[in-house]
Amino acid sequence: QRLGYLTPNQAEDEYYKWFSETSIYSFVNNCLTMTVPTRYVMEYIEHNLLPQVKDALEAAFGDGCSLRYRLAD
């Protein structure tokens, strides 16, 4: 499953560059864990796209949703 709520607010090329290899690993206790392919992608999302990601989480799951990352195996 992808974070499709980001697409309308992100330039399509940027969305695919940073999110095409991510996926939702789990959603437990209002905390979404996203699998990311590399630490670099995780840090880029955290430092450059976090407001958009938080907006997408709120749109998808409501207020108070937190985000965690998991590096792909």
Locate tokens 């399509």: which residue?
12
Higher pLDDT, 9 or 1: 9
Number of Cβ atoms within 10 Å of the Cβ of 52: 17
N-to-C CA span, the chain: 17
The answer on pLDDT for 24 being more than 50 is yes
pTM of the predicted structure, to 2 decimals: 0.77
* pLDDT score of 11: 67
